[in-house]
């Protein structure tokens, strides 16, 4: 493992030279993707991969770019720490990809980003929202908002919409996303005059949350904020109901997965979360995307990760077209100057921090369905 890292600069310099030749003479443009196709957060990886694949297929159906077809090389990181580094090292050094798309989860993007940065291979995360992801360097981009915005929107939702002022927070200490979102939420909550009633931790993947929930219950807060991922959230909601707790529970984009409902059932009914977009949004780009996604994937309704996976690949394609090359310095500059891009998830620009300024939507689970509630503009 260690020697792999030490070797990286030399190997990737070769890979860049190799890619340089390739884009002149090779017959495809190789695009790398790393995603959690299997493992604990598989629904994230599958959705974002499907959106990404659809975009690549659409670009190819229209003739490809620079006279070549795009070739998507996907590595499954199995939702395991350590695998994102292996995946991008392989994609860059062995496969010679010109850019990397991924990941959904912030911790996994943060693991891969330094490798992409060092190799000068542009990386576009579809949906990692932790602010530090793009701070890794000038080759790292995202096509979504950050948790500075999402945390503030959730705090405003708590104090404004729910009229809840004393909030209990249960954070997954294994996830950079969860820790960051909790921090950004707290900052805005306190500036709104609200209070953290009690703040407790868990390790993502744990199955028993009764200890933490009993402590929270004893403190009788107005609401519970869960800045975690869907699988843990479903179990927490079930166990809260078992303890007879009946206060509002809400969270962020990490909640978005059909499994939240299939596992959580009536325990998640009435809960709220914020996310990137809703298939119910009637923009022409969203309508077109939903139709082609359903056609391609047997009637499946796309979620936010599918939309953002699609947009990440389309931003890359648009940038290759504008740069008129896949050479990394020029390609990086083209991605950085993406302006008013009409994505499936809405129109956006890449800002000076290499993030996207975009609105957020609130969803409520009603009748076992994700129901669109409201949009919050940046």
163's tokens: 């009229």
In the list 36, 60, 89, 129, the residue contacting ligand PHE (rule: CB under 6 A) is: 129
CA dist 360 and 58 (Å) reads: 26
Residue 110 touches ligand PHE, criterion: CB under 6 A: no
Q: Which stretch binds ligand PHE (CB under 6 A): 15-23, 127-135, 314-322, 343-351?
A: 127-135
User: Is residue 79 part of the contact set for ligand PHE (CB under 6 A)?
Assistant: no
Answer whether 87's CB lies under 8 Å from 81's CB.
no
154 binds ligand PHE (CB under 6 A): no
d(CA 330, CA 336): 10
Query: Is residue 372 within 8 Å of 361, Cβ to Cβ?
Result: yes
DSSP 68: B
DSSP secondary structure string for all residues of 169-215: EEEETT-HHHHHHHHHHHHHHHHTT-EEEEEEEE-TT----HHHHHH
**Cα 117 from chain centre:** 19
Is residue 184 part of the contact set for ligand PHE (CB under 6 A)? no
Q: Does residue 271 interact with ligand PHE by CB under 6 A?
A: no
Q: Which of 16, 99, 105, 224 binds ligand PHE (CB under 6 A)?
A: 105
Residue selected from 104, 148, 314, 334 as contacting ligand PHE according to rule CB under 6 A:
104
Q: Which stretch binds ligand PHE (CB under 6 A): 88-96, 101-109, 151-159, 264-272?
A: 101-109
Phi, psi of 68 (to 5 degrees): -130, 160
Closest-by-Cβ residue to ligand PHE is: 177
Structure tokens, 29: 């443009």
Going through 27-149 in order, the beta strands assigned E by DSSP cover 28-35, 69-76, 99-101, 123-125, 140-142
Indicate if the alpha-carbon torsion angle 335, 340, 342, 348 is positive or negative: positive
Q: Specify which residues 365 forms β-bridges with.
A: 370
Least gap, CB of 171 to ligand PHE (angstroms): 13
Binding mask 41-60 for ligand PHE (x = CB under 6 A): ---x----------------
Closer of 213 and 365 to ligand PHE (Cβ): 365
List the structure tokens of 145. Answer: 């908002």
Contact between 231 and ligand PHE per CB under 6 A: no
Q: How far is the CB of 193 from ligand PHE (least distance, A)?
A: 27
Selected range binding ligand PHE among 13-21, 233-241, 250-258, 369-377, rule: CB under 6 A: 250-258
Q: Does 36 bind ligand PHE (CB under 6 A)?
A: no
Q: For residue 368, what are its two tokens?
A: 């076992």
Among 113, 182, 277, 304, binds ligand PHE (CB under 6 A): 304
Smaller CB separation from ligand PHE, 194 or 254? 254
88 vs 305 by CB, closer to ligand PHE: 305
Please tell me whether residue 355 binds ligand PHE under the rule CB under 6 A.
Answer: no
Closest by CA to 133, choosing from 121, 152, 149, 117, is: 117
Q: Which of 127, 184, 231, 312 binds ligand PHE (CB under 6 A)?
A: 127
Q: Which residue carries 């969270």 as its tokens?
A: 251
Pick the closest to residue 229 from 168, 275, 184 (CA basis): 275
Instruction: Provide the H-helix boundaries in 73-146.
Output: 83-89, 106-119, 132-135
Span interacting with ligand PHE, options 23-31, 98-106, 208-216, 332-340, rule CB under 6 A:
98-106
The binder of ligand PHE chosen from 128, 212, 319, 326 (CB under 6 A): 128
Longest dimension (CA), the chain: 68
Place of tokens 């294994």: 174
- Nearer residue to ligand PHE within complex by CB, 256 or 281: 256
Does position 101 interact with ligand PHE (CB under 6 A)? The reply is no
Could you give the C-alpha distances from 40 to 36, 43, 90, 92, 192, in angstroms and in order?
A: 8, 8, 23, 26, 35
* Cα–Cα distance for residue pair 259/365, rounded to 1 Å: 12
Asked if 344 interacts with ligand PHE (CB under 6 A), we say: no
- Find the part of the chain contacting ligand PHE (CB under 6 A) among 18-26, 89-97, 238-246, 253-261: 253-261
Stretch that binds ligand PHE, among 99-107, 197-205, 236-244, 290-298 (CB under 6 A): 99-107
Q: List residues near ligand PHE by CB under 6 A.
A: 44, 104-106, 127-130, 177, 253-254, 256, 275, 304-305
């Amino acid at each position: 493992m260690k020697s792999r890292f030490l070797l990286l600069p030399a190997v990737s310099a070769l890979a860049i030279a190799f890619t340089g030749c390739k884009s002149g003479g090779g017959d495809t443009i190789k695009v790398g993707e790393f995603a959690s196709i299997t493992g604990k957060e598989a629904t994230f990886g599958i959705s974002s991969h499907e959106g990404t694949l659809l975009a690549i297929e659409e670009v190819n159906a229209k003739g490809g770019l620079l006279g070549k077809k795009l070739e998507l090389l996907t590595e499954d990181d199995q939702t395991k720490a350590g695998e994102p580094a292996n995946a991008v090292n392989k994609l860059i050094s062995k496969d010679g990809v010109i850019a990397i798309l991924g990941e959904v989860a912030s911790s996994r993007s943060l693991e891969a980003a330094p490798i992409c940065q060092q190799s000068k291979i542009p990386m576009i995360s579809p949906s990692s929202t932790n602010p530090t992801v793009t701070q890794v360097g000038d080759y790292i981009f995202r096509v979504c908002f950050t948790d500075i915005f999402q945390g503030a929107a959730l705090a405003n939702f708590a104090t404004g919409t729910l009229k809840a002022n004393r909030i209990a927070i249960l954070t997954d200490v294994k996830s950079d996303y969860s820790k960051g979102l909790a921090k950004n939420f707290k900052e805005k909550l306190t500036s709104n005059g609200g209070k953290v009633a009690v703040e407790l931790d868990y390790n993502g993947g744990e199955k028993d949350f009764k200890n933490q929930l009993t402590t929270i219950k004893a403190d009788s807060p107005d609401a519970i904020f869960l800045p975690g991922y869907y699988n843990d959230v479903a179990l927490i909601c079930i166990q809260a109901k078992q303890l007879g707790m009946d206060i509002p529970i809400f969270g962020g984009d990490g909640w978005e997965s059909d499994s939240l409902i299939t596992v959580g059932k009536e325990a998640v009914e009435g809960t709220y979360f914020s996310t990137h977009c809703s298939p119910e949004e009637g923009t022409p780009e969203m309508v077109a995307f939903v139709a082609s996604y359903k056609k391609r994937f047997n009637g499946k309704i796309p979620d936010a990760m599918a939309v953002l996976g699609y947009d990440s690949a389309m931003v890359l394609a648009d940038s290759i077209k504008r740069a008129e090359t896949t050479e990394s310095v020029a390609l990086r500059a083209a991605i950085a100057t993406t302006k008013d891009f009409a994505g499936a998830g809405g129109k956006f620009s890449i800002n000076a921090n290499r993030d996207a300024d975009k609105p957020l939507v609130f969803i409520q689970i009603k009748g076992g369905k994700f129901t669109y509630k409201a949009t919050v503009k940046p």
